[in-house]
Amino acid sequence: MDTIRKDDERERVLLLSVDTGEYDNDRAVEELKALTDTAGGEVEGVIVQKLPAVNPVSFIGSGKLAEAELFCRNQQIDLTICDGTLTAAQQRYLTDALKTRVIDRTVLILDIFAAGAKTYEGKLQVELAQMQYFYSNLTGLGEGYSRLGGGIGTRGPGESKLETDRRHVRRRIGALEAQLKAIDKRRTLQRDRRKKDGFVTAAIVGYTNAGKSTLLNTLTDAGVLAEDKLFATLDPTARALKLPDGREIMLVDTVGFLSRLPHLLIDAFRSTLEEAVSADLLLLLCDASDPECEEKLETSMELLKDLGAQNKPIITVYNKCDIAPNAYLMPVSRNSVRISAATGVGLGALLELICKNMPEQTAEIRVILPYKETALAAWLHENARVKSETYEEDGVHIAATVKKSAMYKFVPFLTRE
């Protein structure tokens, strides 16, 4: 990832947080630190203020603002990052008051995504999210706002095109949406073809940094970049995996989850996320060595629900057990397993569990059943999914999805029409 800078090049960052009691603020600040670090910033200080709500003008209250201003001056802060979403007016107010660049959590995450997007689609998705962000913030932006100069929050494919021209941005958003729609259509076709070919898919999902790419690599030698960084993976990678019972499935690595993931990112990355949840089985990975493990599992489940995947078969995988002293305390139920993707411990048990949870492979068939084969037609209605059925001169034409193990019954009647 091109976010790693030499220490003397790292921007000096101040974090501002307002604790409204809405969520666990300590955890949020820790996460903001990790995000800042991933983006290449050095956190020099954190100012937290307890308030019932953020200040509509200056984000934090005036007393804390004075403290922040002094800190920025004394510590030569380059960049202030607010844990939340800033309005354009707040952003301008803080920029004037603190004399540093000021961004919010959404722009920080967008920046990490911009640096990490490798594929054409990933880049389009990031640009769409950036454009939508700037579109909604354009009205309040003044002359002084400029993305020139570089640094965290300024990277990405949209960089040179962010004129403060709503019409232009609107047009660009339309074009990006159209391009992404075309890609999405192609992707759906590919997915359908995979299904038709009888491939079953398991997707590795879970919080960012849980070890998803490491698991894919260990199981399939995929060679996907795995790093101690947030959002190291942005593009789904699929690899074939042979199960102990001889079946072959597709295993997909996916983009990680995060609590309070900005909605415009979920929207922009929806097709990528859907790729994950359209799988037949989900491996919900978590980092067992992380004290927030259970909370992060909950966040992941919430996101899966948002994406409409809560009813898929899910195996909960407690990873990094090699460095989790309390891993044995983790609740393991019928559909969960403890592993270490790094050392390979527990992978046998995981594969067994995948076998157990994998639906039997199916195939699409088209048959012409002579009218005397009523028993076979009845069998299809009872045991398969009949998609169409028409009565013709030469017999009943049926298109259906059947278990591969029952295909032999229909071989004499298969048709290519």
Ligand X SMILES: Nc1nc2c(ncn2[C@@H]2O[C@H](COP(=O)(O)OP(=O)(O)OP(=O)(O)O)[C@@H](O)[C@H]2O)c(=O)[nH]1
Instruction: Name the residues that contact Mg ion, by CB under 5 A.
Output: 212-213, 232-233
392 binds, among Mg ion, ligand X, none (CB under 5 to 8 A by kind): none
Beta carbon nearer to ligand X, 228 or 417 = 228
Which is nearer to ligand X, 49 or 300 (by Cβ)?
A: 300
Report the nearest approach of Mg ion to the CB of residue 349 (Å).
Answer: 22
SS3 328: helix
How far does the chain reach from its first CA to its final CA, in angstroms?
Answer: 50
- Closest CB to ligand X among residues 60, 232: 232
- Site residues (vs ligand X, CB under 6 A): 208-214, 226-233, 256, 319-320, 322-323, 340-342
| Residue 158 contacts which entry, Mg ion, ligand X, none (Cβ below 5-8 A, type-dependent) | none
Instruction: Output 14 or 230, the one with its CB closest to ligand X.
Output: 230
Nearer to ligand X, 176 or 255 (CB): 255
Looking at the Cβ atoms of 272 and 362, the one nearer to ligand X is 272
- Binds 32, which of ligand X, Mg ion, none (CB < 5 to 8 A, cut-off by type)? none
Residue 201 C-beta: closest distance to Mg ion, Å: 17
Assess contact for 132 and 173: CB atoms under 8 A. yes
Residues 6+ apart with CB under 8 A from 77: 12, 13, 14, 44, 45, 71, 98, 100
Q: 173 vs 168, 291, 334, CA distance in Å?
A: 9, 40, 46
Nearer to Mg ion, 208 or 271 (CB): 208
Q: How many CB atoms lie within 10 A of CB 348?
A: 12
| 211 interacts with, out of Mg ion, ligand X, none, CB within 5 to 8 A per kind | ligand X
Give the span between the Cα atoms of 337 and 346, in whole angstroms: 7
Residue nearest to ligand X (CB): 256
DSSP state of 235: S
Written as one string, the DSSP assignment of 180-229 is HHHHHHHHHHHHHHHHHTT-EEEEEEEBTTSSHHHHHHHHH-------SS
C-alpha 18: how far from chain center: 26
**Least Cβ distance, residue 228 to ligand X (angstroms):** 3
In the complex, minimum distance from the CB of residue 347 to ligand X, in angstroms, rounded to a whole number: 10
**231 DSSP assignment:** T
Contact of residue 209 among Mg ion, ligand X, none (CB under 5-8 Å per partner type): ligand X
d(CA 273, CA 284) in angstroms, rounded, equals 14
Neighbouring-strand partners of residue 414: 367
Tell the smallest beta-carbon distance from residue 247 to ligand X (Å): 25
Structure tokens given for 212: 């998803």
CB of 227 to ligand X, least distance (A): 5
Tokens of 408: 């032999």
Which of ligand X, Mg ion, none lies near 91, with the C-beta cut-off 5 to 8 A by kind? none
